[in-house]
Amino acid sequence: MRKRSNIRLTIGDFSKYCQVTVKRLRHYEKLGLLTPNEVDDSSGYRYYDVAQMQQMNGILRLQEMGFTLEEIRQLLDEGTHRPSIMQIEAKIRDTKAQIGMLNQRLDVLQKTGDSIQQIAEMEKFSIQPLPSIIVASHRRIINHTGDLRRLCAETIGPEIQRIGCKRSKPIYSFSINHEEEYKEHDVDIEYCEQVEEMHADTPIIKFKRLPEIPMAVCMKCGGPYSKMRDNFIELFNYITHHSYQVTGLPRIQYVEGPWNQKYPAKWLTIIQLPATKLPSNDSNELNALI
């Protein structure tokens, strides 16, 4: 039996001070790596002494260097906590091999992640022309952009139905904010809905043909309208990153919303922003390097 020190540490205290779980200590004991200095025959309580704290630290350091518990047990059986130079060099070779494998795994993971991100962007963003269409339009100054929903339900929609206008299928409706800056109130906004043919204007609805937009950067936006600022930030980051230039006012297309989806998480809006592709600077950058 080891010489008993003046301090006896219960397995709980030893666990706490060495920052090793009791479960792990029992496992080490089972493997013969670190047995308690004393076991009370009547209670079965296990006690460790202060010297074993350093032994515990040695075991943990060997594990940090990559030695298995079996390798550590063999070292302890040989009466040492210190591996030989040959053993250290072997662990260095193993570690370098593992680093090589991990670097290969990292490369595969990064390429896979980039591919998934590109696919996600392709699904979220699209570049497409907006064809020339006939729309039933209503433009007015509204108190707040949130009033647009009520305006559509109570005024625009009923007027389109009253005059017998045939909506396009699938329904294509959008709004255009004509303000030159952000305004909380008295917002100049236009609501458009694609229809199949021209009709005579009414005091509420004006009919017109919108010209084709050769290119628009389109972004699908899920969730409540309160996220629109974040959506525009993401859209303009995409535009900048992919070298596009904005050429017109955005259309806010309403696909799914409070009129047919109870939960805002299921709302779907598409921002359609007219744009052109900027010329590539690759040749200029090459000339500058030369």
| Domain CATH number, residue 258 | 3.20.80.10
171-187: burial string, b at 16+ Cβ within 10 Å, e else: ebbbbbbeeeeeeeeeb
**Is the domain of 38 the same as that of 107?**
no
* Shared domain check, 131 and 103: no
Is residue 66 within 8 Å of 95, Cβ to Cβ?
yes
Residues 266 and 132 in one domain: yes
Q: State both tokens at 189.
A: 């906004």
The pLDDT assigned to 120 comes to 60
Are the C-beta atoms of 177 and 187 separated by less than 8 Å?
A: yes
Same domain, 171 and 93: no
Domain boundary among 100, 123, 146: 123
Task: Supply the pLDDT for residue 107.
Answer: 84
Answer yes or no: do 140 and 103 share one domain: no
Q: What is the mean pLDDT of residues 234-253?
A: 95
Residue 173 lies inside a defined structural domain of this protein: yes
Same domain, 92 and 76: no
In terms of domains, do 49 and 160 share one? no
Give the pLDDT score at 170.
Answer: 86
86-90, 113-117, 172-176 — which one is most confidently predicted on average? Answer: 172-176
- Amino acid (one-letter) located at 109: L
Give the whole-angstrom CA distance, residue 24 versus residue 94.
26
pLDDT in tens, 34-76: 989 888 888 889 999 998 998 899 899 999 899 989 888 888 8
Structural domains counted in the chain: 3
Stated pTM of the model: 0.58
- What's the CATH code of the domain at 34? 1.10.1660.10
Within a domain: 283: no
Residue 63 lies in a domain: yes
268 shares its domain with 161:
yes
* 165-220 per-position pLDDT tens digit: 999 888 899 999 999 998 889 999 999 999 999 999 999 999 999 999 999 999 99
Residues 113, 145 within the same domain: no
Q: How confident is the model at residue 25 (pLDDT cuts 50, 70, 90)?
A: very high
Average pLDDT over residues 230-245: 94
pLDDT over threshold 80, residue 116: no
pLDDT of 121 over the 70 cut: no
What's the pLDDT score for residue 112?
A: 79
- In this prediction, residue 289 has a pLDDT band, given cuts at 50, 70 and 90, of very low
Question: Please, what is the average pLDDT of the chain?
Answer: 88
Task: Assess if residue 1 is contained within a domain.
Answer: no
> Do the domain assignments include residue 167?
yes
Question: Does one domain contain both 96 and 69?
Answer: no
Record the tokens describing residue 191, joined without a space.
Answer: 């609501």
Residue 13 vs residue 146, higher pLDDT: 13
Full residue range of the structural domain in which residue 38 is found = 9-83
**Helices 51-64 & 11-18, crossing angle to 10 degrees?**
50
Assigned domain for 45 exists? yes
Do 41 and 95 lie in one domain? The reply is no
Question: CB of 251 within 8 A of CB of 195?
Answer: no
98 with 177, same domain: the answer is no
Structural domain includes residue 112: yes
SS (H, E, C) 27-78: HHHHHCCCCCCEECCCCCCEEECCHHHHHHHHHHHHHHCCCCHHHHHHHHHC
Q: Is residue 35 one of the residues assigned to a domain?
A: yes
